[in-house]
Amino acid sequence: MGRKKKKQMKPWCWYCNRDFDDEKILIQHQKAKHFKCHICHKKLYTGPGLAIHCMQVHKETIDSVPNAIPGRTDIELEIYGMEGIPDKDMQDRRRVLEQKSHAESQKKKQNQDDSDEEDDEDEDEAGPSSFQQPAAQPQAAYMPPMHPGPQAQGMLPAGYPGMPPMLTGVPPMIPGMPPVMPGMPPGMMPMGGMMPPGPAMPPMMPGMPPGQLSGPSSTTSDSPKVTFPAYTQPSSTPPVAASSSTVAKPPATVTSKPATLTTLSATSKLMHPDEDISLEERRAQLPRYQRLIPRPGQTAAVAASAPPSGAVGGMIPAQRVIPPQQPGIRHPIHGQYGGPPQGIPGYMAGGMPPYGQSAPMVPSYQAGPPGPPMGIRPPVMSPGSRY
Amino acid sequence: MSGRAAAEKSSTMTGANEFKLTQGPEDGVSAVKFSPSSAQFLLVSSWDCTVRLFDVSTNSMRMKYQHLAPVLDCAFYDPTHAWSGGLDSQLKTHDLNTDQDTIVGTHDAPIRCVEYCPEVNVMVTGSWDMSVRLWDPRTPCNAGTFTQPEKVYTLSVAGDRLIVGTAGRRVLVWDLRNMGYVQQRRESSLKYQTRCIRAFPNKQGYVLSSIEGRVAVEYLDPSLEVQKKKYAFKCHRLKENGIEQVYPVNAISFHSVHNTFATGGSDGFVNIWDPFNKKRLCQFHRYPTSIASLAFSSDGSLLAIASSYMQEQGDVSHPADAVFIRQVTDAETKPKST
């Protein structure tokens, strides 16, 4: 026919605009998500096939393809994988993809220029001011340092070498910018603003979140995906029933990215307390457990005096005496294991207060994500690093 | 089923192949572990400060010992010795024949994990004091303290290697025979707090779960071709009224024979996964509350499921905490050949 190979672009699903690495996977996806009978769960091969099945077997009519985006729900269109996609939509998509990649490269350039103008956006440079800007424009400042290469967002595979440099640079910023920080942790505390600097930060810092947040990583998410093709498979695997189409996934296309975050978006809620401490740590803070925890002095004494056997009975009562003497001491305990002995000073400092008082933080599960930093969430998708 | 419905059991049966342990802990369950040699005995550690030994074949509690404060983890050194640690920062070993305790040592902060490494014959503990300590189980005594970059949240033994998951999403791989340096420093490939790490029985890699309804399958071999095989998937998420509720995945346990694994989440579901075909094999009925811990017996015939509220929504009232013992079948745990 004289036109270009139709496989030039990556396979994508016409019904929901998602990208896939392989047409086979695309077909599996379509069968599971769009051509599956809601009554008996039988997987058909096409939309019309599903309609006929429902009519013949269940005597039910269906008028739209399940899990399809508006405008793409036509049940009478015979689409199988990439075959049958109307030319117009094909071209639309190609155009959109091209626009996207142009926009990204332009944005990248722009960001780099901006950051050059600003005062040394090195991670080593401290100062709250340098932090403000990133919030305003998508962490523009942060990019260059974090940007080891065009793709891959310096996913520093498995984070080997990457960590140390990050850590040294970041801590100086932290104390200055608690309100801005929220922008950083991708998806962690989307609530621009309130996030408890302490608990949220530690997890972020070592994790090169700055790198993640940088604009390019979000905008070039298409390309890095190819390096981890395996990632797309599980998402589209039928048995993983829990995955929902509203939550953006790495193979997610251009259109769905800005709308949803991986979590903590308007459509998803993380069933976990806000602070980034483990559930056990949180529970251990409850008064009824706090009073059982022996104080440092006593613990050592006990260990020293513990005979190999038999004395246990004798010891326990002695221990029990201790708790009443300590009226709900919270902080010293946290000092024990929250303290900076080996921790990175930068975020330890931030980390202290939240233990005691942070709870009131914006109890935000639902992310109302105002603020530009939200938009940067996409790095979450980047298969090169985090899932 | 009717055949083995002893009077007490029938009242505790919660399914065709499943029953609830009686005389269970009086507060949350932190860990369940089967004996290495027998599917008959199960250790259960709890926030009620006890560690209990159950005989699951008769659904009876055989022994119970105390800590000063809630116990966060327990492990068998061998069929007759239990080790445990928790908020009192004391590492205890209990002789299950003589019913005697010994305090082996302490950490500077609560002990979060206790595991045994058979290949090197050493007990390993991880603590919120940011250290991993090794212990010689025979004397017993301390055999070294090794600093981690952050509080230890989880750890798992793979052959003679130790995989440590800490706060800040760090993952470290240590060689237990040579603890002078960290063998591999990694970062979790998941963006959210690490909840649990368990190594594959075949020691090729490990499974890591986060608080954000996601599990990653990773490999230890750092070569690029092997690293390319790693992947992650979403799980333990429920859609309710258009909002997706994303739950922490608290527990992972491997089936020793099939190399498939079960995950338990705060959504109260247990899923069994086939990591090689990347498919879910099975999902059990929903349990009354969050799954805090899972353990397959060494022969893979039983799965202990600790259904225990973990304060995800704060200190609110919740269904009673309990441990369920379920007989699992090949159909539920064996990879399907397609």
Rounded Cα distance between B104 and B143, Å, is 11
Please give the share of chain B, as a percent, with pLDDT higher than 90. 92
Residues of B within 8 A of A334 (CB-CB) are: none
Q: What is this structure's pTM?
A: 0.58
User: How many Cα atoms within 13 Å fall on the side-chain side of residue B152?
Assistant: 33
**pLDDT at residue number A188:** 41
DSSP A325: G
A24: closest CA among A39, A40, A10?
A: A10
Write out chain A's pLDDT in tens, 387 residues.
555 554 467 888 999 888 888 888 999 999 999 999 988 889 998 989 999 999 888 888 888 898 888 888 888 888 998 888 888 888 888 888 888 878 777 766 665 554 444 444 344 434 344 334 433 443 333 334 444 444 444 344 443 443 444 444 444 444 444 444 443 444 444 443 344 444 444 444 443 444 333 333 333 333 333 333 333 333 333 333 333 333 333 333 333 332 223 445 678 889 998 888 999 999 999 999 999 988 765 544 444 444 444 444 444 444 444 444 444 444 443 434 434 444 333 333 333 433 334 344 444 444 344 444 444 444 444 444 445
Lowest average pLDDT, out of A38-47, A236-245, B311-320, B329-338, goes to: A236-245
**pLDDT at residue number A204:** 40
Q: How many CB atoms lie within 10 A of CB A339?
A: 16
Burial class (CB in 10 A: 0-12, 13-18, 19+), B1: exposed
Residue B129, pLDDT > 90, answer yes
Residue appearing with tokens 């973990």 = B310
CB B61 within 8 A of CB B92: no
**pLDDT at residue number A21:** 87
Q: Which residue has the higher pLDDT, B12 or B327?
A: B327
Rounded Cα distance between B201 and B314, Å, is 35
Note which residues in 219-258 of chain A have CB less than 8 A from chain B: 227-228, 230-231, 233-235, 237, 239-244, 246-247
Alpha carbon distance, N-terminus to C-terminus of chain A: 41
CB B36 within 8 A of CB B298: yes
Cross-chain residue pair B191–A284, CB shorter than 8 Å: no
Cross-chain residue pair B169–A246, CB shorter than 8 Å: no
Complex ipTM value: 0.92
Residues of A within 8 A of B98 (CB-CB) are: 309
Residues of A within 8 A of B213 (CB-CB) are: 242, 263
Residues of A within 8 A of B245 (CB-CB) are: 268-269, 271
Cross-chain residue pair B191–A188, CB shorter than 8 Å: yes
Residues of B within 8 A of A233 (CB-CB) are: 231, 278
Cross-chain residue pair B233–A228, CB shorter than 8 Å: no
DSSP A63: -
Residue of B nearest to A304 (CA): B105
Length of chain A: 387
DSSP A69: P
Q: Which of A159, A272, A299 sits opposite B89 (nearest CB)?
A: A299
**pLDDT at residue number A108:** 63
Cross-chain residue pair A188–B90, CB shorter than 8 Å: no
CB A277 within 8 A of CB A337: no
* Sequence-separated (6 or more) residues with CB below 8 Å from residue B41: B34, B35, B53, B54, B55, B56, B62, B79
Residue B130, pLDDT > 90, answer yes
**pLDDT at residue number A200:** 40
Task: Supply the DSSP string of A247-292, one letter for each residue.
Answer: S--TT--TTTTTT--SSSBTTEEE-S-SSSS-HHHHHHTSHHHHTT
Q: Which strands make up the sheet holding B243-246, listed edge to edge?
A: A268-270, B243-246, B237-240
Q: Which of B89, B227, B235 sits opposite A157 (nearest CB)?
A: B227
CA distance A86 to chain B (A): 31
Mean of the per-residue pLDDT values of chain B = 93
Rounded Cα distance between B188 and A222, Å, is 22
Q: Inform me whether the C-beta atom of residue A279 falls under 8 Å from chain B C-beta atoms.
A: yes
Q: Which residue has the higher pLDDT, A245 or B183?
A: B183
Is the four-CA dihedral B43, B262, B284, B6 of positive or negative sign? negative
**pLDDT at residue number A70:** 87
Residue of B nearest to A248 (CA): B234
Q: Which of A231, A271, A283 sits opposite B245 (nearest CB)?
A: A271
* Sequence-separated (6 or more) residues with CB below 8 Å from residue A184: A139, A204, A209, A210, A213, A373
Q: Inform me whether the C-beta atom of residue A127 falls under 8 Å from chain B C-beta atoms.
A: no
Q: Which of A230, A294, A320 sits opposite B229 (nearest CB)?
A: A230
Rounded Cα distance between B88 and B101, Å, is 15
Report CA A362 to chain centroid distance, whole Å. 19
CB A161 within 8 A of CB A339: no
Task: Supply the DSSP string of B109-168, one letter for each residue.
Answer: S-EEEEEEETTTTEEEEEETTSEEEEEETTTTEEEEEEE-SS-EEEEEEETTEEEEEEGG
Confidence band for B240, pLDDT divided at 50, 70 and 90: confident
Helix (H) or strand (E) holding B254, with range, is strand B249-254
Question: Model confidence over B223-235: pLDDT tens digits?
Answer: 999 999 999 999 9
**pLDDT at residue number B68:** 95
Residue B34, pLDDT > 90, answer yes
Strand partners, B215: B209, B233
Residue B96, pLDDT > 60, answer yes
**pLDDT at residue number B25:** 95
Rounded Cα distance between B248 and B320, Å, is 20
Rounded Cα distance between B142 and B123, Å, is 9
CA distance B8 to chain A (A): 32
Residues of B within 8 A of A240 (CB-CB) are: 233-235, 280
Query: Can you point out the beta strands (E) in chain A?
Result: 268-270
Cross-chain residue pair A270–B232, CB shorter than 8 Å: no
Please give the share of chain B, as a percent, with pLDDT higher than 70. 96
Q: Which of A187, A303, A309 sits opposite B191 (nearest CB)?
A: A187
User: How many Cα atoms within 13 Å fall on the side-chain side of residue A50?
Assistant: 31
CA distance B2 to chain A (A): 32
Residue appearing with tokens 């990347």 = B278
Burial class (CB in 10 A: 0-12, 13-18, 19+), B301: middle
Report CA A262 to chain centroid distance, whole Å. 5
* Sequence-separated (6 or more) residues with CB below 8 Å from residue A373: A135, A138, A139, A182, A183, A184, A190, A192, A213
Residues of B within 8 A of A67 (CB-CB) are: none
Pairing of β B122-127 and β B205-210: unpaired
Interface A-B, measured as beta-carbon pairs within 8 A, has a size of 248
Q: How many CB atoms lie within 10 A of CB B181?
A: 8
Burial class (CB in 10 A: 0-12, 13-18, 19+), A255: middle
Report CA B207 to chain centroid distance, whole Å. 12
Residue of B nearest to A292 (CA): B69
Cross-chain residue pair A279–B310, CB shorter than 8 Å: yes
CB B73 within 8 A of CB B113: yes
Cross-chain residue pair A337–B130, CB shorter than 8 Å: yes
Rounded Cα distance between A318 and A240, Å, is 53
Cross-chain residue pair B311–A283, CB shorter than 8 Å: yes
